Amino acid sequence: MIKYDVVVVGAGNAALSSALAAKDNGAKNILVLEKASQKERGGNSRYTNGAYRFAYNGFSDLKKIIPSLKNSNSIDYGKYTVSDFLKDMKKVTDGKTDKVLSKTLTSKSFETIHWLSKKGLKFKPIEGRQSFKVNGVMKYWGGLTLEVDGQGEKLVDSLLKITKKNGIKIQYDSAATDLIYEDNQIKGVEVLYKNKPQKIYAQSVVLACGGFESSSEMRTRYLGPGWEMAKVRGTKHNTGDGLTMALKVGASPYGNWSGCHAVFHDMNGPEFSDLKISNKYRKISYPWGIVLNANGERFVDEGEDFRNYTYAKFGREVIKQPNQIGWQIFDQKVRHMLYPEYDVKSATMVKAKTIEELVKKLSGVNSAKALQTIKEYNESVRDDIKYDPTIKDRRCTEGLKVNKTNWANKIDQAPFYAYGVTCGITFTFGGLRVNNKCQVLNKVMKPIKGLYAAGEMIGGIFYFNYPGGSGLTSGAVFGKIAGQSAARV
Ligand SMILES: Cc1cc2nc3c(=O)[nH]c(=O)nc-3n(C[C@H](O)[C@H](O)[C@H](O)COP(=O)(O)OP(=O)(O)OC[C@H]3O[C@@H](n4cnc5c(N)ncnc54)[C@H](O)[C@@H]3O)c2cc1C
């Protein structure tokens, strides 16, 4: 019987960060167990744009992460302090984020991304999506400045290569099904390896096997009725197995179990995405237009804030609408500002020369009401205020039931475009309660000996919403801590 020092369950960003940190901290015999086949490896981490939100104090910090980065008068990378990051965490979670966890996340974000870069992960500035040209200078905004060169695909491949170089073993096709829990401590995991049961023993087990976004049963149970209808944007393998196993041995649940990250997503997308379509089915350029539901009414303030601060919560709004659908409407003026995914041939899109013609093409929508809503919206736009997409320009509507706070432009230039959307779930927020060593706590708030958690599995960090790019950072920060603690038993 082999007994490992550390067994890590899952092989996404959080798990691989844990395995590497365990190695750094003296664990010799480390096994990573992954439910997916090698072909389907990488979890949600592989689906990402590889964008990490982290605190930095200007160009010199970024240069530590990308030594070849050149300073230039035509680029302003700005800065994003720990306190800016913390402020954003508090803002988007309505102040609910756990104080200790969010302090750890934000204050350790830079050193953790720096650690990953020293391990060999290659980063680059996020051109286009996170910057705007202002007076000839490319200005980065919002604190989300770097992504992994080659995005999620390269992120996972690089981490796997680095893991392998460090002598860490990965076993694919291995779904952890239960924890081995004896004498009040975790002794290993039970696994279905290629569909055959196996027992694997370990000194410490790190659970980093994602949330429950891909289980329609758990979604409906915890997020509520209607959620079984959501489309899954990421891996089909995150079915809450780690959470179920941990709760079974008495782990304390924590955080926003009825909350998740969910976005507008093509209404005709499949049940689970695959790597080719996932981000292409996302539809998040709504700040430049309006969104109607099946009743032909607006139901969100599309210009409430920069899309980084609203896109993760609007999927939840569309699930509440009749038939869980919406249509995003744009005119020719703003069409060029939409993300490339709006150009995807398979997108559910209709186009028309007049608004009257457009609303008739919106399947499942009350067209008379839709026409009235667009007219009323157009009449309420404060076009005396200058439109400026680089700032929150306060160009709003007035007098509507749901006003648009920024970037309100009349929809009046043909041709007109509409994109059919529904809810695409990204990941869930509820998880396990951990202490500052990422030890999983039991019902009396004491560590369950030998059990650690990281990544999407930790509860209490995100509530209602999340600042774009903090999922990967959270996985890396808490993954590193969990690996370190698991090795130092
Ligand atoms: C389309 C998309 C785009 C995104 N873009 C970004 C972005 O740019 N920046 C950002 O910060 N976040 C982004 N996110 C969120 C981000 O993916 C997650 O926050 C992060 O990847 C979670 O990492 P993780 O390691 O916890 O989980 P995962 O990467 O999902 O890894 C969990 C792993 O556990 C495995 N597993 C599940 N059950 C078992 C089991 N029983 N036994 C063994 N293994 C199991 C899974 O197969 C998977 O490989 C995006 C998500 C999606 C879906």
Q: Write down the mean pLDDT value for the chain.
A: 95
Whether 149 shows a pLDDT value over 90: the answer reads yes
Whether 142 shows a pLDDT value over 70: the answer reads no
Cα 435 to ligand 1 centroid, rounded to whole Å: 22
- Say if ligand 1 is within 6 A of residue 175 CB: yes
Residue 453 lies in a domain: yes
- Say if ligand 1 is within 6 A of residue 213 CB: no
- In this prediction, residue 131 carries a pLDDT of 72
Query: For the chain, how many structural domains are there in total?
Result: 2
Whether 133 shows a pLDDT value over 90: the answer reads no
Tell me the percentage of the chain whose pLDDT exceeds 70.
99
* pLDDT tens, position by position, 315-333: 999 999 999 999 999 999 9
Cα distance between residue 200 and residue 190, in whole Å: 6
Q: Range with the lowest mean pLDDT among 33-47, 86-100, 118-132, 257-271?
A: 118-132
- In this prediction, residue 390 carries a pLDDT of 83
Q: If you average pLDDT over each of 133-142, 275-284, 303-312, 397-406, which comes out highest? A: 397-406
202 shares its domain with 305:
no
Cα 465 to ligand 1 centroid, rounded to whole Å: 17
Residue 475 lies in a domain: yes
Q: Which domain holds residue 323?
A: 262-424
**Torsion-angle region of 288 (φ positive above 0: left; ψ -120 to 50: alpha; else: beta):** alpha
Cα 390 to ligand 1 centroid, rounded to whole Å: 31
Alpha-helical segments (H) within 219-326: 241-248, 311-319
365 shares its domain with 295:
yes
Among 424, 448, 476, identify where a domain stops.
424
309 shares its domain with 414:
yes
- Say if ligand 1 is within 6 A of residue 331 CB: no
Cα distance between residue 236 and residue 203, in whole Å: 29
Of the CA atoms within 13 Å of residue 370, those in its CB half-sphere come to: 26
Confidence grade of residue 132 (pLDDT, cut at 50, 70, 90)? confident
* pLDDT tens, position by position, 20-31: 999 999 999 999
438 shares its domain with 313:
no
Residue 225 CB-density burial (10 A; 0-12 exposed, 13-18 middle, 19+ buried):
exposed
* CATH number of the domain encompassing residue 8: 3.50.50.60
- List the Cα angle 217/220/319 in 5-degree steps: 135
Among 424, 448, 465, identify where a domain stops.
424
| Nearest CA owner, ligand 1 atom 18 | 471
Please compute the mean of the pLDDT values over residues 362-366 and round it to a whole number. 95
Residue 168 lies in a domain: yes
Pocket test for ligand 1, best of 48, 146, 283, 432 (most atoms within 8 A of CB): 48
| Encoded tokens for 103 | 């302090």
Residue 230 lies in a domain: no
Cα distance between residue 35 and residue 406, in whole Å: 44
Residue 143 lies in a domain: yes
- In this prediction, residue 308 carries a pLDDT of 80
Query: Are 25 and 168 a contacting pair, CB within 8 Å?
Result: no
- Four-CA torsion 43, 425, 286, 138, nearest 10 degrees: -20
- Say if ligand 1 is within 6 A of residue 208 CB: yes
29 shares its domain with 176:
yes
| Nearest CA owner, ligand 1 atom 1 | 47
- Say if ligand 1 is within 6 A of residue 233 CB: yes
- In this prediction, residue 164 carries a pLDDT of 97
416 shares its domain with 471:
no
Cα distance between residue 376 and residue 71, in whole Å: 48
* pLDDT tens, position by position, 55-94: 999 999 999 999 999 988 888 899 999 999 999 999 999 9
Find tokens 């590889």 and name the residue. 50
Residue 146 lies in a domain: yes
Whether 223 shows a pLDDT value over 90: the answer reads yes
Cα 198 to ligand 1 centroid, rounded to whole Å: 25
Query: Are 454 and 12 a contacting pair, CB within 8 Å?
Result: no
- Say if ligand 1 is within 6 A of residue 341 CB: no
Residue 330 lies in a domain: yes
Query: Are 178 and 245 a contacting pair, CB within 8 Å?
Result: yes
- In this prediction, residue 129 carries a pLDDT of 64
364 shares its domain with 300:
yes
Confidence grade of residue 274 (pLDDT, cut at 50, 70, 90)? confident
* Strand, coil or helix: 162: helix
Confidence grade of residue 130 (pLDDT, cut at 50, 70, 90)? low
176 shares its domain with 278:
no
- Say if ligand 1 is within 6 A of residue 12 CB: yes
Whether 385 shows a pLDDT value over 90: the answer reads yes
397 shares its domain with 469:
no
Confidence grade of residue 219 (pLDDT, cut at 50, 70, 90)? very high
- Say if ligand 1 is within 6 A of residue 315 CB: no
Cα of first residue to Cα of last residue in the chain, in angstroms, is 21
| Encoded tokens for 26 | 């003296």
- List the Cα angle 67/70/73 in 5-degree steps: 150
| Nearest CA owner, ligand 1 atom 9 | 469
Pocket test for ligand 1, best of 8, 35, 41, 44 (most atoms within 8 A of CB): 44
- Say if ligand 1 is within 6 A of residue 428 CB: no
- Say if ligand 1 is within 6 A of residue 370 CB: no
58 shares its domain with 143:
yes
**Buried b vs exposed e over 25-49: b needs ≥16 C-beta within 10 Å?**
eebebbbbbbbbeeebbbbbbbbbb
Query: Are 424 and 281 a contacting pair, CB within 8 Å?
Result: yes
Cα distance between residue 60 and residue 73, in whole Å: 15
- Say if ligand 1 is within 6 A of residue 396 CB: no
Alpha-helical segments (H) within 124-266: 151-165, 216-218, 241-248
* pLDDT tens, position by position, 201-217: 999 999 999 999 999 99
* CATH number of the domain encompassing residue 283: 3.90.700.10
Query: Are 430 and 211 a contacting pair, CB within 8 Å?
Result: yes
Among 424, 444, 479, identify where a domain stops.
424
35 shares its domain with 167:
yes
177 shares its domain with 314:
no
- In this prediction, residue 264 carries a pLDDT of 97
> Using the 8-state DSSP alphabet, how is residue 386 labeled?
P
Cα 133 to ligand 1 centroid, rounded to whole Å: 33
| Encoded tokens for 440 | 């999983």
Residue 222 lies in a domain: no
Query: Are 59 and 69 a contacting pair, CB within 8 Å?
Result: yes
- In this prediction, residue 318 carries a pLDDT of 96
Q: What is the DSSP string of 312-344?
A: HHHHHHHHTSGGG-EEEEEEHHHHTTS-GGGG-
